[in-house]
Amino acid sequence: MIDLSESTPFASGSNRHCYRHPDHPDRCLKLIRRENIEARYQRQPAAKKLLGKQRLDDNLQELTAHLQSAIQRPLRQGKEALVWAHLPRFFGQTVTAQGVANESELMMAVDGRPAETFEHYLQRVGFDELAESLVQEFTVWLRDTGILTRNLLPHNLVLGVRDNRTRLVLVDGLGAPAIPSLLSASAHWRLHYLDRRIRRFYKRIEWETSGRNQPWEQSQRL
């Protein structure tokens, strides 16, 4: 069994730690931060607590998100290159001594290190010509595939190398809440949903690059 007790995460979010797979250096293992899940659960009102803790588990949400028809149908048709053009290849779940982890491709930069987040790139360089072209390519792919995502946040995307060139790759935030997922059976509604996500993404980029002068929650309503 894989033991990560002596390993250091190469990245961490509020809900998960990301480790380099000890046996497959080109893959990563995402482990839930149970203490944070518990804290989120305890902060919720009683009515939401009745829904249980599983809905707060990002690994389970990610597993479900990969089952959406916009991913599974093209995979069955042999269109793997299309699906994984802007997503890490997903290998399912792996048992570790620290719990069940989601295993996926580790996106790398040109220099061989884990890929830089788009958030960090915007802070370092800004929304330059390269960033603009990467976003355009990514959003065209979203519309073409119809793959559902949650709100597109720069810290959930990385500048990874795919087919010897840099692309934006979504490493977190795949899938949609339950109701939008059900409504997505309508092609018209699916495109409407994606267009809303894309418009909000551009607004988020503007907020990230304009000094974050006000809270995002307030800015996104303007």
Stretch 186-208: mean pLDDT:
95
State the residue range of the domain holding 88: 11-219
Q: 174 and 72 in contact (C-beta within 8 Å)?
A: no
- Cα 119 to Cα 6, 115, 123, 148, 207, distances in angstroms: 29, 12, 6, 21, 11
Structurally, the chain folds into a number of domains equal to 1
Q: 102 and 153 in contact (C-beta within 8 Å)?
A: no
State the pLDDT confidence band at 41, using cuts at 50, 70 and 90.
low
Structure confidence by residue, pLDDT tens digits, 131-166 = 999 999 999 999 999 999 999 999 999 999 998 899
Q: 110 and 159 in contact (C-beta within 8 Å)?
A: no
Q: 31 and 99 in contact (C-beta within 8 Å)?
A: yes
Is 70 a domain residue? yes
pLDDT at 44 over 90: no
Burial classification of residue 102, based on how many CB atoms lie within 10 Å of its CB (0-12 exposed, 13-18 middle, 19 or more buried):
buried
Is 4 a domain residue? no
The tokens for 133 are: 């072209």
The amino acid present at 144, given as its one-letter code, is: D
Q: What per-residue confidence (pLDDT) applies to 47?
A: 65
Cα within 13 Å of Cα(167), Cβ side: 20
Is 6 a domain residue? no
Is 5 a domain residue? no
Q: What per-residue confidence (pLDDT) applies to 179?
A: 82
Is 99 a domain residue? yes
Q: Give 148's strand partners.
A: none
Is 130 a domain residue? yes
Q: What per-residue confidence (pLDDT) applies to 138?
A: 98
Is 160 a domain residue? yes
Is 114 a domain residue? yes
